[in-house]
Amino acid sequence: MPAPIVLLVNPAAGGGRALRVARAAQDAFTTAGLEVVVRETSAPGDEARIAAEASRAGARALAVVGGDGAISHAARGLLEGEAGGGARVPLAVFAAGTGNDYAKSLTAPAHDVRRMVAHVAAGATQRVDVGFVNDVPFVNAAGFGFDVAVLERMQTPGRLRGAAAYVSTAFGALFGYRGFHARRAGIDDPTQPTDRRLMVVYANGRCFGGAFRIAPGAALDNGVLDCITIRDVAPLARVPLFAKAMRGTHLSSPHVEVRRDRTFQLSFAAPPVFETDGELHRSATSDIAVHVRAGALTVIR
């Protein structure tokens, strides 16, 4: 008998929206004659733990109902489970978050429950890349600088969450953010001081922040990351630059640099805070290594 599909959902996510999507997916799986086991999260870290268990149990697929954070944690758990001797279990994404940035780069119909269930039933898969900042994996994007400052502001109790909140917080922070210095190995002259930068983003997917097409040419399965560096500009020039980023037309700006590679290195004066898939981390070291592991994750397409 085929192994069941594990349906993973945070019942509190999206003000209950994720739970509604999960119930619709469960009904659709049952109608399609597929065995499904529903696993609800209740504490931080549950997504990774449940995903690792699904890998060790050899689940037919792990269907994640949620947004970028849930998908990122679940992917991390699948990688850990496989590294520990578990099976390579395909990830199926049912978009039920606010930004749903990773879903925008997938070929699967992540926003359509019935079509997505049909894709899981068909079993067609695609191998996609996973990025790493030191040893922290990310499936969509990682960043340093301005996006970190925005996420730190959004941690304030009482602030709204979601894509609209990110955009409003970002534009509110544009004039006050002072930028940062970091040296890029093999690019910046080690004998010269570095320019001040607004942000550096390493993109596996095309979008981040819910509304920004930060790397319109990025692809999940090309074995490289797109590094988008935005140099500091005068405060009044920041607004049109970020407005262009919402449309994906910012890459033509003389203040924006795009590099595509498998590995990158950054050096800071002190251990920096960085974000991966919208989650904040503080590095243990001042030297940062970013790399991509090609085809590390399997997704339903």
* pLDDT score at 192: 86
Cα–Cα distance measured from residue 186 to residue 267, given in angstroms and rounded to the nearest whole number: 11
Q: State CA 60 to chain mean position distance.
A: 24
Q: Convert the pLDDT of each residue in 117-173 to its tens digit.
A: 999 999 999 999 999 999 999 999 999 999 999 999 888 755 555 667 777 888 888
> Is the confidence at residue 15, as pLDDT, over 80?
no
* pLDDT score at 266: 97
Q: Convert the pLDDT of each residue in 65-99 to its tens digit.
A: 999 999 999 999 999 999 999 999 999 999 998 88
| Residue the block writes with tokens 């003389």 | 254
Q: Convert the pLDDT of each residue in 246-297 to its tens digit.
A: 999 999 999 999 999 999 999 999 999 999 999 999 999 999 999 999 999 9
Considering Cα of 140, then 142, then 147, then 148, what sign does the dihedral take? positive
Q: Convert the pLDDT of each residue in 31-47 to its tens digit.
A: 999 999 999 999 989 99
| Residue the block writes with tokens 């004998």 | 191
Torsion region of 113: left, alpha or beta (phi above 0 gives left; psi -120 to 50 gives alpha): alpha
* pLDDT score at 158: 54
Cα–Cα distance measured from residue 101 to residue 211, given in angstroms and rounded to the nearest whole number: 8
Cα–Cα distance measured from residue 132 to residue 120, given in angstroms and rounded to the nearest whole number: 27
* pLDDT score at 186: 86
Q: Convert the pLDDT of each residue in 180-225 to its tens digit.
A: 999 998 888 888 888 899 999 999 999 998 889 999 999 999 999 9
Taking alpha carbons only, the member of 60, 63, 68, 58 closest to residue 40 is 63
Q: Mind giving me the DSSP string for 21-79? A: HHHHHHHHHHHTT--EEEEE--STTHHHHHHHHHHHHT-SEEEEEE-HHHHHHHHHHHH
Structural domains in the chain, CATH included, are 5-123 (3.40.50.10330), 138-295 (2.60.200.40)
* pLDDT score at 1: 63
State the chain's mean pLDDT as an integer.
Answer: 94
AA identity, residue 301: R
Cα–Cα distance measured from residue 40 to residue 279, given in angstroms and rounded to the nearest whole number: 21
* pLDDT score at 268: 96
CB contact at 8 A, 117 and 28: yes
